[in-house]
Chains A and B, each alone.
Chain A
């Protein structure tokens, strides 16, 4: 995985390069906007970490030009500018994430992993359980011909159930997979989210796919096909 670091602060760029190399990524550095554009156009990168306040062309201009030249590399903005307006503008121009300086290194690595996972999901197969279609790359869910809008947690929960279709998953297993944290067992999150999922996935269809196994957990039941 190759990452382009666009950062005018040479020291910071150096530290980021070291950290990313330690994490197993290939890196390249640019210290101004024009050079970054040139590099992005001439080489292939999996991700760009882009500062906003850059000499020659600022981060927004770099982002605009990247999209204008159809260079669709995912971009994470890494900037000390923290105005909501700037964040919104950056995201509107096509950045996939925005992280404020000073950032926690582990958080940056986690976000990089997420972005790379999503972009690599493009190659992942889609799967079907009966008439329920799930496309992990596009995070698209269809039941029959009807497109279903899910929140990020609802989607993670459904994907977890779908990957383990026809197997009972306990409340704790679902919490660990979708939330990556331990909640107090008295929380009603799973119940609430299963209720929401049922409402969105099963309501209005003859054969409900989500089953409750009393005392054990939940299960997505149906004929599974990977495509």
Chain B
């Protein structure tokens, strides 16, 4: 099965959506800030122009030419008053600090002051004109404050938009996350649960429906596959059962000696075939990821002894003995695993030791519990092992003339993996050892 892949954060859809939302929000917030800035600036300007205009108009109304009367300027007021008749232009008052000429624009916006030009027709026929100026310090200070505010708001808006974009994309992708979560939970060992269809009809609804259709197809295939395994298992095992039971229940005492040998040989062949069928069926299930793991508490020493008892005859025939050591001696060593799988794993390891062990030697089994439980099976082999790691691959055999298909250790390795255990093989100086490390240990109060 393909393992779950990890990816850098920046390649995630959430990040990309977040970035998109972020850009959109920045654009939106920037536009709002710009519009607000422009509006406030215009309001300040209009206000200032109104002040200028009122000042100039009031002053112009109060000025008379005959006799010449001009209201004296306030502290911050500057103005230039001229009288213009058809013949000449007379300056009546001027306290402008610079640029005292009239301009075409009625309003002149300088850095230091703003000026407005107004004129009034007199009954004498002449024109009284005024260039009225007020210092722009207040306006400039207000505008400066506004700019500072905008400069603070823009980074704040960016940060807010990043956070909002990330959360929005998270909310937007929530149904997708749910789909991924459920898809990760889906395997062929149990019946497949369909995804819940969202109420809102959109692309996600379409995706969910499409995925559900796919899951239904997978479920149906998985059912067919399981039915095939069940049928294959039944059909292959039934004739073998008939053969084995017939041969083993034949009254050996009633038949001639040569026939007795023949029956014994046939039994051995059927047993070999039975082992092969078991291994092939298990291999197919492992390859199809349809092996169910039913974890429960297993007293590992008792299981080892059960298997050893089962293999006792084989051990006696080769003159081999088991030596079992358990450490620590004052604790019940209990692991959490599938008992059937652990039986197959340990059974394969023990029977391999008996198959390839030196006659009249000892198969040493050590059960040690520290952080994890490690079961080490060790014996001296009668054969040389060139590449011990390759034994965990399919169809790798130490000796081609020995029975077996080279599946035992591959099956043991795969079953260890699905039980979250680790099987390591070592070979040195004609001593083979296999260490099964199980970390799902059930701790009991001493």
Contact = CB atoms under 8 A, between A and B. Distances in A.
B308 A15 contact: no
Given A102-B274, A105-B245, A106-B248, A186 B332 contact: no
Given A85-B292, A180-B309, A102 B237 contact: yes
Interface in B290-323: 292-294, 299, 301-302, 305, 308-309, 312, 321-323
Interface string A1-36: 000000001011001101100100000000000000
A70 interface: no
Interface string A65-89: 0000000000000001111110110
A218 to B, nearest CB: 15
B51 interface: no
B234 A84 contact: no
Contact of A81 (B233, B322, B338): B233
A103 B302 CA distance: 22
Contact of A181 (B243, B270, B271, B309): B309
B362 interface: yes
A191 interface: yes
* Interface size of B as a range: 35 or more
Contact of A183 (B230, B251, B281, B323): B323
B277 to A, nearest CB: 8
A184 B242 contact: no
A78 B338 CA distance: 21
B136 interface: no
The SS class assigned to the B binding surface is helix
A192 B301 contact: yes
A80 B312 contact: no
Interface string B363-394: 01000000000000000000000000000000
Contacts of B294: 84-85, 88
Interface in B234-254: 234, 236-238, 240-246, 248-249, 251
B361 to A, nearest CB: 10
A196 interface: yes
Nearest to B290: A83
A85 B190 CA distance: 10
Contact of B338 (A84, A152, A180): A84
Nearest to B363: A184
B305 A199 contact: no
Nearest to A186: B323
Nearest to B312: A181
A153 B305 CA distance: 9
B248 A199 contact: no
A189 B241 CA distance: 36
B322 A80 contact: no
Interface of A: 9, 11-12, 15-16, 18-19, 22, 53, 80-85, 87-88, 100-106, 151-153, 179-184, 186-189, 191-192, 195-196, 199
28 contacts: A15-B245, A16-B245, A80-B234, A80-B241, A81-B233, A81-B234, A82-B237, A84-B292, A84-B293, A85-B294, A101-B240, A102-B240, A102-B241, A102-B243, A102-B270, A103-B241, A151-B302, A179-B305, A183-B324, A184-B364, A186-B323, A187-B323, A187-B324, A188-B325, A188-B326, A188-B329, A189-B326, A192-B301
In the A-B complex, list the 4 residue pairs whose CB atoms are closest, starting with the nearest: A19-B249, A184-B323, A105-B248, A80-B237
